[in-house]
């Protein structure tokens, strides 16, 4: 039926989601999309992403302070540092896209407070938050959950965008989160042996 | 409604193959389509999947880019 419409390459995931061994995320289709209000330009998107990276970095920092597991503390501190790098990348991108001589303060001030990567509310985060006794494995699962939720959120944002440039930017951000997930998997394999 | 009656031809992809495919290909270069019901999508989905429940599929096909490969579950 759809051959005439050009759908030539369609794959059926054998066994459906039950067969899926990779990361999973949860939450309704509209979760986190409330932050899209007034977001139109690529500059706005960068601002939003900046806020999410900042919140996640803050979470990692706070969690590092709560844990009594020194390995977990090290990992969380490292992850907080990674988020800081993302912020620097986003700031650079913002200057390129916005074209002006905007200073960092322009990005720091309007960011959505309390919004973590992935659009999870603070309450949802607290429900899943690690305690002082969380093991390194727990920390990895939490970090991976955030990164997977963030990737999913950026993809849902991209669906909501009309401008091709905005969609491409969001795909790039999703791609980066996918890379973080992979990197976390590699660190986990090294640390958990 | 059967998937195969909407999309033709449909090839099978194992979870392992799908995972390798997604790792290799950039986001936005393919569509990951979740055709289950919303409550199932909400409970657990593959990150980045687009929700389009099977009963809505024929009406909403215009939202998909036919040039991009589609992985459906």
**Three-state SS sequence of chain B:** CCHHHHCCCEEEECHHHHHHHHHHCCCCCCEEEECCCHHHHHHCECCCCEECCHHHHHHHHHHCCCCCCEEEC
A120-124, A136-140, A177-181, B24-28: segment of lowest average pLDDT: A120-124
Does pTM surpass 0.90?
A: no
pLDDT at B17: 97
Tally of domains within chain B: 1
Look at A13 and B47 and tell me if their CB atoms are within 8 Å.
no
Report how far residue A14's alpha carbon sits from residue A66's, in angstroms, rounded to the nearest whole number. Answer: 42
Look at B27 and A29 and tell me if their CB atoms are within 8 Å.
no
Closest residue of A to B68, CA-based? A9
Can you tell me the ipTM of this complex?
A: 0.94
Tokens coding B26? 């950039």
In this complex, the residue of A14, A22, A159 whose CB is nearest that of residue B14 is: A14
CA distance B63 to chain A (A): 9
Report how far residue A191's alpha carbon sits from residue B66's, in angstroms, rounded to the nearest whole number. Answer: 43
Q: What is the CATH number of the domain that holds B23?
A: 3.40.250
Which pLDDT tens digit goes with each residue over A107-165? 665 554 445 545 555 445 545 566 656 677 777 888 888 889 889 988 998 888 888 88
Strongest mean pLDDT among A4-8, A85-89, A97-101: A85-89
Interface of B with A in 17-56 (CB under 8 A): 18-19, 21-23, 26-28, 36, 38, 40-51
Domains in chain A with CATH codes: 38-191 (1.20.1260.10)
Phi, psi for A163 (deg, rounded to 5): -75, 130
What is the span of the domain harbouring residue B63?
A: 3-72
């Amino acid at each position: 039926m759809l051959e005439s419409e050009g759908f030539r390459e369609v794959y059926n995931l054998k066994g459906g989601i039950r067969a899926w061994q990779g990361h999973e995320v949860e939450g309704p289709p509209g979760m986190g999309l409330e932050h899209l209000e007034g977001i139109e330009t690529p500059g706005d998107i960068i601002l939003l992403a900046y806020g999410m990276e900042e919140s996640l970095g803050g979470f990692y920092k706070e969690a590092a302070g709560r844990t009594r597991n020194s390995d977990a503390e090290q990992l969380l501190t490292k992850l907080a540092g990674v988020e800081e790098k993302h912020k620097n990348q986003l700031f650079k991108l913002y200057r390129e896209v916005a074209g002006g001589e905007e200073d960092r303060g322009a990005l720091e001030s309007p960011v959505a407070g309390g919004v973590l990567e992935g659009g999870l509310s603070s309450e949802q985060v607290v429900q899943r938050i690690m305690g002082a006794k969380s093991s390194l494995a727990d920390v990895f699962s939490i970090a991976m959950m955030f990164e997977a939720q963030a990737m999913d959120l950026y993809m849902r944002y991209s669906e909501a965008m009309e401008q091709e440039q905005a969609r491409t930017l969001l795909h790039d951000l999703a791609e980066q989160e996918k890379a973080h997930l992979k990197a976390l998997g590699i660190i986990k394999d090294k640390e958990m042996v | 409604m059967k998937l195969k009656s909407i999309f033709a031809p449909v090839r099978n992809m194992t979870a392992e193959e799908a995972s390798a495919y997604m790792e290799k290909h950039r986001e936005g270069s393919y569509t990951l389509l979740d055709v289950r019901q919303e409550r199932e999508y909400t409970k657990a989905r593959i990150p980045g999947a687009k929700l389009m429940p099977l009963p809505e599929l024929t009406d909403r096909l215009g939202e998909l880019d036919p040039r991009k490969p589609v992985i459906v579950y």
